Amino acid sequence: MFASASLTTFLFLLLSQDASGAPTASTAVVGRSMPIRRLNPSSQNFTLVAQQAKDQRDLLVVKYGGQSLQQRGTGYNLYVKSFMPRVFYPKHRAYSIVNQGVDTGYYGTIAIGTPPVSYDVILDTGSSDLWLTSSTCGASCGTSPTYDPAKSSTFQNLSTPFQIQYGSGAVAGYVAEETVQMAGFSVAKQGFGVVNALSSAFNTNPVSGIMGLAWSPLSSTQQMPFWQTLASGGSLDSALFGVQLTRYGNVSGATQNEPGGVIDMGYTNSSLYTGSIEYHNLVGTPQYWEINMNTLTVQGKSINIAGISTAIIDTGTTNIAGPASAIASIYAQIPGSQAGTGQLQGYYTYPCSTTVNVQFNFGGKTWSMSPADFTHSQVSTTECLGAFFISSIGQGGPSWVIGDAFLKNVYSVFKYSPASVGFAALSETAIAQNGVKAAVPSPTIGAVTAATNTGSASSATSGAVSSSPLSILLCFWLASTSIAFLFW
């Protein structure tokens, strides 16, 4: 679900290093807002939809079935002219993202190297690695922009190989350190993967890589994630980030790239939600953003999820995956629904004329999901493909993977300490951004707040720190290729 450019607003702060060469964080930061774009699918047919569905299903198995899986996306730094007022608080930023492929995926921009060069990357709370395609990758990396280490004075090769296996391909390369900027923050000596071998399944322009936003124990490169470096080092006013995603799936004439929403780094944006934020502690040691799910209701009928009730909150997945028994019960509430076959195995179709109402409860309030988000795509004149599909992750994996189909309906908060996920009701301001036709800003690199990577993934611990807020306007995009389904 990666496809095109993003409306991302990023401000970068100058990066500094201490005498030991370890990354360090500064305290004075000027906030900025960054817009993002959403990408719409050009024209989808049944064959394409079926292939994407299969890829999403297979990728989820690899991602959560005991092997390391990353996703790739695109994004770039933008000087924000966003829906929200510019933020000028120290140690927090507003960051806009792109909606690509009509709610298929969301990406933003990072800048890397000295001098900094911007790249589009998938923003993925379901993985922990940052990786970019290298200038030595060759034809397999397609026409997406690639990173050239020779053009940066701060590049350092750690000479450690890595490989990430996907359901329909793989990426491989080596681990390096660089100065990385995102949303007005800069981290020196940030570990990341330089990809020099890439499956042709991932060569969709302009995607250049992935920015993992989960926890360090998941990192295939054994490097601390960018966001965790900021949170653990006190670079943020509040050690958290908030996410608001836009909806274009029910908008006629939506284009390939549209405003995708916002990521608020280091603070929660009160203009985007109403009421209080309901937090839920993570299950076990922080790895994924995994919480308990108490109840699930479809068409007013309670679905039995006893014993299968942990859910990973994943911005890098388009749809919602769950156990076979529960998925069958969901569609049993929808007359005329049918289990898919072939490439659509694990999915269900249902009459497009049916309005499907879904409600989630994670231990407090009940959160409704728009019927528009239950429809993933239309496969015939009368039949639609549902957003809920069967997870084949197997024993030891999560029961549920909750992706963008739900997250478009809430303001989500990912908190460092105590490790937790929060939800709040969207404000009228946030809801009004759905379907808005807006210009896509050009990427720019501005002033940044500097931070330092203090260690590898293995040394990361969760603790209370002060953080800087950053609002990122998200754009989502629709990719009409198999890579698009990386985030289903």
Residue written as tokens 């072939």?
A: 342
Give the list of residues 6+ apart from residue 458 with CB closer than 8 angstroms, or none.
216, 222
Respond yes or no: is residue 373 known to be catalytic.
Answer: no
* Terminal-to-terminal C-alpha distance of the chain: 8
The CA-atom distances, in angstroms, between 176 and each of 23, 60, 74, 252, 478 are 14, 27, 20, 44, 31
CB 160: neighbour CB atoms within 10 A? 14
Respond yes or no: is residue 18 known to be catalytic.
Answer: no
Residue written as tokens 């996907």?
A: 166
What are the b/e assignments for 277-290, b being 16+ CB within 10 Å? bbbbebbeebbbbb
- Tokens representing 232 are 């653990």
Single out the catalytic residue among 55, 124, 237, 404: 124
- Four-point Cα dihedral 192, 180, 459, 292, nearest 10: -90
Closest CA to 293 of 283, 285, 284: 283
Adjacency order of strands within the sheet including 338-339: 338-339, 348-351, 383-386, 375-378
Single out the catalytic residue among 55, 120, 264, 314: 314
Paired with 471 in beta bridges are 33, 94
- Tokens representing 138 are 């060759």
**Catalytic positions, written as ranges:** 124, 314
